[in-house]
Chain A
Amino acid sequence: MGKFFNIAKKFRVLTALTVFCLVSAKFFDVYASLPKAYYMYFNPISTQFAPSLLKMLAFSSIAAGAAFVSFTALALLFGRAYCSFFCLFGILMDVARRIVLLPSFAPILKETRMGKFLGKRFARQKFAAAHNATRAIFLGIAIFALAFGYTSLFGFIEPYSLYGKIMGGAVHPAACIAVNETSQILYSFENFSVRPVNGDPTIPLAAFAVSLIILAAITAVSAARGRLYCNTVCPVGAFLGFFAKFSLFKISIDSEKCVSCGMCERNCKAQCIDSKNKAVDFTRCVLCFNCAGHCPKEAVVFSINPIFKRAGKSHSDTAKAERAQSRISATRRSFPKIILGLSAVLCAAARRDGRGMGFGRGRRHPESEMSDETTPFGMPGARPDKRLAMPPGAQSVENFTEHCTACQLCTAACKAHILKPSVGELGLSGLMQPFMDFRRGYCIHNCHDCSKVCPTGAIKFISNNEKRHTKIGTAVFIRRLCVVKTDGTDCAACAEHCPVHAIEMLPFGRREESLYIPHVHSEVCIGCGACEFICPVQPHKAIVVRGIRKHRKAAVFDESMRLYKSEANSKNARKTDNSEKGKTATGDFPF
């Protein structure tokens, strides 16, 4: 058995580090240079449990939820293998714990006061009673959050999204800024070898603070109590733990070999081994195999679950202890807690008014009402006709807000760095869900990176070609603010930047002035925000994007749509009068 555990642990560490590095690579991919194969053939992010459940719901397809289905099935075989092998947040906790407790086992630091203190106080784990009521409450909150569309809330308790919030909210911006600073230092020495990152990688301060708080909290918890989060808050842990109870194989202690030395208990991350009673709470075991590695008697075994054996055989003691424990956890005392927790969620869900709770001056503006045309979200201090657009592939506001767990992967993938975690823009119920910030840039015409990475189906995959014709909003032109009108000078910055030719320049004012003013062909406009970003008018832009609630296919501009058709002909006529035709007849050079 010892050899089996040895290999199993090595396999566990190898798998965990591979998955962790592969997924984290996306957050460090500051130039968006990962190959197509990363997304198409083996997408490491698709191994995540909760996102795949959401994807399954979003696409109504079992195949989309492969990870959800297979890890649930795996839990019936081996228990919570997912938690140690694939869960990114769990792996992050293991890494954080190892780093914090480094002085307690590193040879140089071991003998120092710090090392001794950490070794005595934190490195040794103790068995703890199960917090089954808390687990049930959080699982309940998760289920209700999903059922009522509070996916952002789900994202705050679900492990993958918490990992993403740390990586996307703190690590990715930090990496980008580090690259930018390095390149700027090199640039000052006339060395142009390091390219700076596109766009503005900074994120709102509040979102950054949320990421850091999550990181600090999880580091502290994992250093002090190991996988405490996994066995209290984590809904995935609770869900898989339920299946682990009935798993075919489980870790248990051979009571004949065991001498109750406590080595396994001391090294159990999940605090689920009671070495005195020689019992293992397999619903909390994350299958890290650390216990077996430290057992001097090889008393830790991986064997058939005693519930599948007849009572009275060799494992009866363990089974008895198990049963006793489960009885304790299901005391009547925990019922009030469960009821309180669930009713709180229900009350919150009932208050949801379906109009978004975003702030912004236009909240009560008629156009901010939920209609097929506009999204209900505005920006603080922005014009009421400026409404936030959802990224292409989101399909509709509902699809996006109901499936996005705010894992921040798209904010890290966004080439233009305009997808930013929202802190109020999408309302309280959309906290940290990304929004398109057209103040910082615009959606790049031939980029569909957010739809390539989204693991939950909030942003469904669309091809580059499809994306170029997907209408996410409409540009609204405010003539009285335009410089052509106010200053009487040429501009056309918006028409220049429009990638789909939705802005036509129409003659304006007297002919001799030769001025042209923009006109938006609304159905051609895709709402990419290029015009809004480039418009020179401050503080309120003369052209803003009004996000539409349901995305649709935009019309392609063709010549029949052109409003000012006679231009070429009339000018031609004018020129021929000016006897310039003689020059063209000379052929080669008109000058």
Chain B
Amino acid sequence: MKRREFVTAISTAAVATPFGELFADTSSKAGTPDMVAVRNGEAADMFERGIAEMGGMGRFVKKGQKVVLKPNIGWDRPPEYGSNTNPELVGRIVKHCFDAGAKEVLCFDRTCGENWDERYEISGIKEAVEKNGGEMVTGQVSSMFVDQDIPRGVSLKHARVHKLAVNPDVFINIPVLKHHSGTKVTCALKNYMGCIEDRPWWHKHNLPQCIADFSTYQKTTLTIVDAYRVMLKAGPRGTSPDFAPVVKYQIISTDIVAADVAAVMLFANVARQFGMGVPYALSDIKYIAAAVKLGVGTDNLSKLNVKRISI
């Protein structure tokens, strides 16, 4: 190596290493973060990086625990439509849970249609979960649901909740960020509609309030927002992959409301960037305000220790 090249290389490395880290993460505070936002990577890789920043899966999953995953598998659409959670991401989460010592990893969703087994397959999640040793559980059978009281609920006082969602050791919420015809944007809080049996009742009795009410009941260990593809319109089912551009974001958060707030901001940003769909303001998303009022989480991101990473 020539001397000049050597010097250049050394100086580049010297400059890049510390400052690169520094610039990418200007607003981070000390200690383990409450929220990590990652961008510019494949869904599984972003998770890999993000969870490492969060302190590893071991922070949330202890040895011998039963882990329940709640991705969004609502629709009979392949991954390109962005209607369901990214299967690679779910698969990687299953792997991390087992690596952290989980006894078993179960995954379920009450799909938006009777043909749940087909939707598990089409979404690719079934394959991803089973390949990593996890197990898919139906959310469609009435006997899987048990009556639960929701003491802090305003509109929703009782609900029939999926057995797996009742007092889980670890409950990981893996929503996908997308447009929704009813609640404008659907993400972490709305994803919990897949835990209960009678969704039409919610639609009938003030949907945003019911979503907020249920979040007071449901234990959440971790929320992982999949925004690898963001469906900007024709949601939540999606009619074309064109409406779901690949934007490569991911938000990992311990605060479910904060995850939704960040996700809605992200949605608006992406919508503006692609000139598609509507860049909704936080005030348009009524369930977030309702959840904040019930004290489920915070909508003030500056209160949290947020780490932002670009890969």
Residues of B within 8 A of A496 (CB): 112, 180-182, 236-237
Chain A residues near B183: list those with CB within 8 A. Answer: 490, 492
Closest to A575 in B: B279
Chain B: which residue is nearest A447 at the CB level?
A: B115
Contact across chains for A514 and B284 when beta carbons are under 8 A apart: yes
A270–B106 Cα gap in the complex (Å)? 59
A-B pairs under 8 A by CB, number:
147
A224, chain B: closest CB distance, angstroms = 43
Distance of A187 Cα from B140 Cα, bound (Å):
13
In angstroms, Cα B113 to Cα A498, docked, is 11
A242 CB within 8 Å of chain B: no
| One of A180, A492, A514, A589 near B308 (C-beta < 8 A) | A589
Q: Decide if A308 is an interface residue (CB 8 Å cutoff).
A: no
- Which chain A positions have C-beta within 8 A of B275? 568
Q: Does A485 contact B (CB under 8 A)?
A: no
Task: Give which listed residue, A199, A416, A536, A572, contacts B201 with CB less than 8 A.
Answer: A536
0/1 string, A175-187, CB within 8 A of B gives 1: 0000010011001
Report if A116 contacts B (CB, 8 A).
no
| Cβ–Cβ < 8 Å partners of A416 in chain B | 114-115
Stretch from B2-10, B47-55, B94-102, B262-270 at the A interface: B262-270
Residue in contact with B135 in the complex, picked from A183, A192, A447, A489, CB distance below 8 Å? A192
A353 touches B (CB below 8 Å): no
A572 touches B272 (CB 8 A): yes
Is the CB–CB distance between B268 and A590 below 8 Å? yes
Q: A187-B144, A588-B308 are in contact. Are A578 and B208 (CB under 8 A)?
A: no
Contact status A493-B286, CB under 8 Å = no
- Tell me, yes or no, whether A196 is within 8 Å of chain B by CB: yes
With A492-B182, A500-B239 known as contacts, the answer to whether A444 contacts B39 (CB < 8 A) is: no
Interface residues of A (CB under 8 A from B): 31, 180, 183-184, 187-188, 192, 195-196, 198-199, 415-417, 441-442, 444-447, 483, 487, 489-493, 495-501, 503, 505, 514, 516, 530, 534-538, 557, 567-568, 571-572, 575, 578, 580, 583-584, 588-591
| Known pairs A492-B183, A493-B199, A590-B266 / 15 extra A-B pairs, C-beta < 8 Å | A183-B141, A192-B138, A196-B138, A415-B115, A493-B203, A495-B182, A516-B182, A536-B201, A571-B278, A571-B280, A572-B272, A575-B268, A575-B281, A590-B265, A591-B261
Q: What 5 A-B pairs come out closest when comparing CB atoms?
A: A492-B182, A536-B200, A590-B269, A536-B204, A495-B181
13 A-B residue pairs with CB within 8 Å:
A195-B138, A416-B115, A417-B114, A444-B113, A496-B236, A497-B112, A498-B237, A501-B234, A505-B181, A514-B184, A534-B203, A567-B278, A591-B262
The residues of B with any CB-CB pair to A shorter than 8 Å are: 37, 39, 76, 106, 112-118, 135-138, 140-141, 143-144, 180-184, 199-209, 234, 236-237, 239, 261-262, 265-266, 268-269, 271-273, 275-281, 283-284, 286, 301, 306, 308, 310
